Amino acid sequence: MGSYKNSLSISDAGVKRIAEHEGTIDGLYNDPSKYCTYGVGHLVRKSECFMLAGANSDEQLKKSIQKQWPGKSYETTYVPRTIVTSENFAKIKEAATRNAQEYFAQRQHKKSFVNLASADQERIKTHAEAAIKEETDLLPFVATDQFKKDLQSYETTVNSGVTGVALTQGMFDALVSFVYNVGKGAFNSSQLLKKINENIFMSGDDMKKREEAIKEIEEEFLKWNKSGGSVLKGLTTRRQDEADRFLSQARQSLETLKMTQNLKK
């Protein structure tokens, strides 16, 4: 098994494909796993958005919420980035802070915030303020600008993780899409990366082994189609798209090998 140093950057087509899969929402929203998210799949925190909860807490404030179908089969409600210039911004932030205080109080002490000792309340306030700041600090950024900035670290993860094969642009784009969705840690410890680095799917004259390796890699992609333990149609479609793009050259190479060996018979 060879050792390769990949140093690619995602192509414009690759960026566009991820945005199509993720959907672009210019604001704060909860993803299908109920995780607070911004823009094009930028994970803010593995809990619901406090700013969105704050806006939902009052009929007047609810008018600030917008709805979108981001290329998906479900409706997404979100707090738009333009909220920072709204007269309701301060009120939403106050309501969000109360929501965050209650969330952290229940999570850390199994009690309502008002029933905590003063010292514990102060600690919870600090956590809540940090969480709200984490959300509101993103609002000045255009969703697509934040997305392009985020991608840089995912490019690094793929370049440093794949050492067993020289990646083509299509293979690289597919892996960046995959890692952006499942996470860096999950990718680095995955069987998918292990099988890619074995490089059986791209090398050798044993057609059967290469065919099996290609099938195994496709299956490893397709395993990652769940959110919250449930299979999502959108994720299944995305995984198949990523697998097909990643394996395109390997499949073509295998067909060429088959033709060559048949001619020798």
Q: Could you tell me the CATH number of the domain that includes residue 243? A: 1.10.530.40
Number of domains in the chain: 2
Looking at the structure, tell me whether residues 150 and 260 fall in a common domain.
Answer: yes
**Using one digit for the tens of pLDDT, what is the confidence trace for 125-157?**
999 999 999 999 999 988 888 999 999 999 999
End residue of a domain, out of 86, 104, 136: 136
**pLDDT exceeds 90 at position 33:** no
Question: What is residue 193's predicted lDDT score, i.e. its pLDDT?
Answer: 98
Please tell me whether residues 224 and 190 are part of one structural domain.
yes
The yes-or-no verdict on residue 74 having pLDDT over 70 is no
Residue 3 covered by a domain: no
Using the structure block, give the residue that is written with the tokens 């809990």: 47
Model pTM? 0.83
- Considering the domain architecture, whether residues 164 and 117 belong to the same structural domain is answered as no
What is the SS3 string spanning 193-250?
HHHHHHCCCCCCCCHHHHHHHHHHHHHHHHCCCEECCEECHHHHHHHHHHHHHHHHHH
CA 60 to CA 237: how far, in whole Å?
39
Report the mean per-residue pLDDT for the chain: 93
| Same domain (yes/no): 177, 156 | yes
| Residues 99 and 176 placed together within one structural domain of the fold | no
Looking at the fold, whether 210 and 126 belong to one and the same domain comes out as no
CA nearest neighbour of 86 among 159, 27, 161? 27
Domain of residue 233, residue span: 12-16+143-264
Rg, Å, the chain Cα set? 23
Give the torsion through C-alpha atoms of 15, 172, 152, 37, to 10 deg: 60
Would you say residue 32 has pLDDT above 90?
Answer: no
